[in-house]
Amino acid sequence: MRETAENTRQKWLRDPEAESVTAMVENAPDHMIATVYLRFVYQHVANCAAESLARFELTPSRYFALFQLMISPDGQMPVGRISELIFVHPATITSTIDQLQKAGLVRRMASDEDRRIILAKITPAGRALTQQATEALDQNFFGLAPMTAEEAAELRFLLKRVWARLSTAAD
């Protein structure tokens, strides 16, 4: 069954309007098809990111944790907040920070205001590696290389609108 699903995905990626794919989804609601395309695009972008980051010995989770620290005003933030920002489970972020600390890319320390809160702080080596990895991702346009700048801007606009509506609906 997995092979059949992969074959269908490959056909869809080559030709989203292929007869077999169209027949499979001709009665499916647009929202469902949009979700399927989002999954395919996400998987493609995630695969491109993983490939680009592998040469830096970074996983996407490690990269995004480092990136959040790099763009924070003082290069540090609570580990729990990183977990929220990169959408990973608290147990996963603990392991991620452990690995980054072992590699000398972050330091872990207790907050001065509340010793129960554990902070992660990016090191100079972590900052340099994150910058290099970001440049490598940018060379491949973060997995969206086939898109024009205008298409990427349009996609950004549409996804931002979808996210805003979903966020509002969740409240």
pLDDT tens string 100-124: 999 999 999 999 999 899 999 999 9
Enclosing domain of residue 163: 145-171
Averaged pLDDT for residues 130-140:
94
Q: Which amino acid is at 164?
A: A
Tally the domains of the chain.
3
pLDDT at 4: 47
Write the CATH number for 132.
1.10.10.10
Could you tell me which residue, 9 or 48, shows the higher pLDDT? 48
- Give the separation between CA 1 and CA 111, rounded to whole angstroms: 50
For residues 61 and 131, state if they share a domain. Answer: yes
**Looking at the structure, do residues 129 and 155 belong to the same domain, yes or no?**
no
**Same-domain pairing of 61 and 133:** yes
Nearest-angstrom CA–CA distance, 129 and 123: 10
> Does one domain contain both 116 and 153?
no
Among 72-76, 134-138, 167-171, the range scoring the smallest mean pLDDT is 167-171
Are both 50 and 61 inside the same structural domain?
no
Coil, strand or helix at 147: coil
Side chain identity at 55, as an amino acid letter? R
71 and 130, same domain (yes or no): yes
Which of 122, 109, 134, 127 has its CA nearest to residue 75?
122
Q: Are residues 47 and 62 in the same domain?
A: no
Share of the chain above pLDDT 90, in %: 61
Predicted pLDDT at 5: 47
Q: Is the pLDDT of residue 128 over 70?
A: yes
Whether residue 115 sits in one domain with residue 164: no
Rounded to two decimals, what is the model's pTM? 0.79
Q: Locate 107 and state its tokens.
A: 């330091």
Q: Measuring CA to CA, how many Å separate 97 from each of 29, 55, 62, 110, 150?
A: 41, 19, 8, 14, 37
Domain shared by 8 and 50, yes or no: yes
Same domain for 62 and 111, yes or no, is yes
8 and 35 together in one domain = yes
